[in-house]
Structure 1
Amino acid sequence: MKPLKELVRTNVLNMDMQVSDNDSRVRTESCVWLDRDENPYNSPYNRYPDSSMAVLKASIAKIKNVQTTNVFIANGRYALVDSMYRCFCTPGVDNVVIVEPTYDVYRTMAELNCVENRSVLLDADFQLNADRVLEQCDEKTKLIWLCSPNTPTGIAANPAEVEVLLEMFDGIVVVDESYVDFSSQLSWRTRLGKFDNLVVLNTMDNSWGCAAIGVAMLYASSELVNMLNRVALPFGLNSLSQKVAIDQLRDTFEAEKRVRFIILERQRMISAFMDLSICVQVYPSETNFLLVKFEDAQAVYKYLLDKGIVVKNCADMPLCENCLRITIGAKPENNELLSALRQY
């Protein structure tokens, strides 16, 4: 890996990061705060959020077995991805490599930040080939984007191939693990100490069932997190989301119970789909959804839509011809879907 200062955008590296005394102090009710033009009434909603997110970071760090200095938090996965581009990729100069098919946020944010995207396809089994990825990299490649387990495929990347990228690539390898809690794979978060160029993304959307609050987490070396803090928006996560997240993180047992139920339902749905005559293939999944290939996915998609059942049409994505991505819902929802498909 290149020294981090060679990867960070020059303007970000040169930013004046001095913080005022008021901003650096813990804001408690024992003080009279007259520095932010806040309305003195309607407590607690009249105060700006805690920019440091110190309590939330501590809660996450304890559960994920990392240091608080290894944690960066943003308002959703889009904000995390955007922060990586704004910190490391100079518009019109640098490029990134995206392994596809995958979540469209990496491409969307590349376009928004005027950063060249170089696409590399997974193989026919939806697996990563590190050599093909490295062939697309040059001295201006700052980031490699991986999603593991991946969407829409549901398949985790071969750890040996990911390790090749981490050892051979001079830039930063970002592994999006938004679905890792549904997987048997060991999280790459546990290997932060081994690879300085590793960045791991995660959210509270899926396994925690908290998509409404928009809490997304990034894990990386303390030095890299410090650089990201330079581009973080002030008050990047509202107080209500922080409070709900902290409350949810106190009950890991309930979250784990939901995950176990989804995994059981996932197996039931795989068997049920395989019994359908219109189903060509059900791909293995380590997520809370299934990628299912049909004889005519477009027709099935429209049929389900007419029945009031909405799934994700992936037919226009590379390697996903005639495929639908179907989320594992609650048991009654899954039964309604199966009933409709059996009558197709």
Structure 2
Amino acid sequence: MSFDLNSLLRPHIAQLQPYTSARDEYTGKEGIFLDANENPFGSITEQDFNRYPDPYQSDLKEEIAKIKQVRPSQIFLGNGSDEAIDLLYRAFCNPGKDNVILLPPTYGMYEVSANINDVEIRKVALTADFQLQPEKILAAADDQSKILFICSPNNPSANKAKREDILYLLENFKGLVVVDEAYIDFSDEPSFTTELERFPNLLVMQTFSKAWGLAALRLGMAFASEELIRILNKIKPPYNISGLTQETVLNAIRNKAKVDQMIAEILEERSFLEKELAQLSFVQKIHPSHANFLLVQIPQANKVYEDLINEKIIVRNRAKVLLCEDCLRITVGTRTENNSLLEALKKVCH
């Protein structure tokens, strides 16, 4: 299928002249900087923050490219993945005219951003075992369907979508296909970043919030064709990633062995927690997980959720979400936290 990105783009975005910062005009790191109206005396803190950060995060992208096996020019960095989601709506979806395809149950920000941007939502529910329905998805789309969001591993169900179904949609959906891989580090599935050269309509999202343990820094990654990344850079705020975040993540990447260790420990704890929960008589179902959480079906989940709060154990109540009736979403904790959860469940579900 031939794909023309510009045919999807909102016309005024195609003609937009982006804001040019002082760091666009001079990208060097040496010299006397009298171009950006910064304070020349430094900062009142121990570390100087008086200079604006690199607006395109060049050093950080170089390091990310190495571990993700992509080119730096294929990377967009945003204030969480939510920024990339919002920018996609603003770039490609005409308010009140275009639509997007969502696959509930799924990550809630796709719908929130659609509503903020006044974009029609077309929903095609997952199957009972949380798999895609490709033919129904394509049947729901029309010429105004600009984006299809696929979360895999999925939130809140934790499972991975069938790879052949995603490939089929990439080959046949006429708009952008966004594959959200926030939990890919906990899965045995290879990332769809390996398909970027094959599919110009593909954008893959990942994050530093989960496996990397950097949620407070709010750094999301998007991987796509160089053409699509240029569009996102064109409409993003000029300095959307702070210098402190860039420096901190650079140091984290250089200590990737620690991240790999944490992932291994989380996977070990996920197996432990799944095994222990399965032995509890009141647990009805534990859905297969490729993430750092489990979706667990328990009778009277609303009550159990409140009872756990009284025990100072906070989980996520998904009982009112489509296909997740009587389900709690439980993040994998440390062994101490997991044991505390198990003891609390035994107490409130006697």
TM-score by length of 2: 0.96
Instruction: Assess if the C-alpha contact under 8 Å between 2:203 and 2:222 holds in 1.
Output: yes
Please give the secondary structure, in 1, of the residue aligned with 2:103: strand
Quote the residue 2:204 is aligned against: 200
Structural mapping, 1:1-344, within 5 Å:
1-17=2-18, 19=20, 23-28=24-29, 30-43=30-43, 44-344=48-348
3-state SS of the aligned residue for 1:279? coil
Distance change >3 Å, CA 106–CA 61, structure 1 → 2: same
Secondary structure at 1:32 match in 2: coil
| AA of the residue aligned to 2:236 | A
Q: Aligned equivalents of 2:304 and 2:119: distance in 1?
A: 37
User: What is the identity, as a one-letter code, of the residue corresponding to 1:326?
Assistant: I
Question: Is the partner of 2:295 in helix, strand or coil?
Answer: strand
- Cα displacement (A) at 1:2: 3.7
**Partner SS for 1:100:** coil
Letter in 2 for 1:36: A
- SS of the residue corresponding to residue 341 of structure 2 reads helix
**1:18: Cα distance to partner?**
7.9
Match for 1:137: what amino acid?
Answer: A
* Cα shift at 1:17: 4.3
Query: Amino acid of the residue matched to residue 171 of structure 2?
Result: E
Equivalent residue letter for 1:70: Q
After superposition, the Cα gap between the structure-2 partners of 1:22 and 1:48, relative to the gap in structure 1 and judged at 3 Å, is: closer
Equivalent position SS for 1:230:
helix
For residues 20 and 309 of structure 1, do their structure 2 counterparts lie closer, same or farther at Cα, with a shift above 3 Å needed?
closer
For 2:274 and 2:246, how far apart are their aligned partners in 1? 36
Alignment CA distance shift 1:21-1:80 (3 Å): closer
Q: Deviations over 1:294-318 (max 9, x none)?
A: 0110111011001111100001110
1:24: Cα distance to partner? Answer: 3.4
1:152-193 deviation per Cα after TM superposition (whole angstroms, max 9, x unaligned):
000001011111110011111000000001000011011111
Partner SS state of residue 124, structure 2: strand
Query: What is the deviation of 1:19?
Result: 4.4
Q: Which moved more, 1:12-21 or 1:243-252?
A: 12-21
Code of the residue aligned with 1:313 in structure 2: it is N
Distance 1:20 1:214 in 2: 23
Report the 3-state secondary structure (helix = DSSP H, G, I; strand = E; otherwise coil) of the residue aligned with 2:185.
helix
Measured after TM superposition, the shift of residue 25 of structure 1 is: 2.2
- Secondary structure of the residue aligned to 1:245 is helix
Superimposed CA distance per residue, residues 132-159 of structure 1 (whole angstroms, 9 cap, x where no aligned partner):
1111100000000010000000000101
Deviation of 1:23 (Å): 2.1
Count of aligned pairs between the two proteins:
343
Gaps of 5+ in 2: none
CA shift digits 1:59-78 (9 cap, x unpaired): 11111000011000001111
SS at match of 1:228: helix
SS of corresponding position for 2:333? coil
Q: Post-superposition, which runs of at least 4 consecutive aligned residues in structure 1 deviate over 3 A?
A: 17-22
* Distance in 1, Cα, partners of 2:206 & 2:107: 13
User: TM-score scaled to structure 1, two decimals?
Assistant: 0.97
| Gapped regions of structure 1 (runs ≥ 5) | none
Deviation for aligned residue 1:20: 6.6
1:278 aligns to what SS in structure 2? Answer: coil
Secondary structure of the residue that 2:336 maps to in structure 1?
helix
CA–CA distance in 2 between the matches of 1:22 and 1:188? 32
What's the offset of the Cα at 1:47? 1.1
2:23–2:55 contact (8 Å) kept in structure 1:
no
Amino acid at match of 1:301: Y
Distance 2:329 2:126 in 1: 17
Partner Cα separation in structure 2 for residue 20 and residue 264 of structure 1: 47
Letter in 2 for 1:319: L
Cα distance in structure 2, aligned partners of 1:18 and 1:286: 41
> What letter is aligned with 1:4?
L
